[in-house]
């Protein structure tokens, strides 16, 4: 993520293109590794916020649940993602 953030920052801020938002999509897993990952995300979000960067994350699970609300508009894509 840091590599992408640095590239975006250079391209948008240094290039005078305005602002951007870094969005992180990931598959949430239970257990110790998932907990460690979440703590790292919280720390990364804190550090980016201090630098004035807009950063947010969403899990693949949350993304699919949100898409299900729009199944009528995108049935093939939602069915593909939910294996139906």
In the chain (84 residues long), the average pLDDT of successive 10-residue segments reads: 78 69 92 96 92 89 88 86 74
Range of the domain at 68: 2-82
Query: For residue 18, what pLDDT is reported?
Result: 67
Query: For residue 13, what pLDDT is reported?
Result: 67
Return the DSSP state at 54.
E
Query: For residue 34, what pLDDT is reported?
Result: 95
Query: For residue 84, what pLDDT is reported?
Result: 62
In 3D, which of 24, 74, 35, 53 has the Cα closest to residue 66? Answer: 74
Copy the structure tokens of residue 15.
């290039």
**Number of domains present in the structure of the chain:** 1
Q: pTM of whole model > 0.85?
A: no
Query: For residue 25, what pLDDT is reported?
Result: 95
């Amino acid at each position: 993520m840091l590599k992408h953030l640095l590239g975006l920052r250079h391209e948008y801020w240094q290039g005078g293109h305005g602002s951007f938002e870094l969005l992180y999509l990931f598959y949430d897993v239970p257990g110790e590794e998932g907990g460690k990952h979440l703590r790292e995300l919280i720390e990364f979000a804190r550090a980016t916020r201090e630098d004035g960067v807009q950063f947010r994350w969403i899990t693949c699970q949350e993304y699919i649940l949100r898409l299900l609300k729009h199944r009528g508009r995108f049935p093939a894509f939602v069915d593909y993602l939910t294996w139906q």
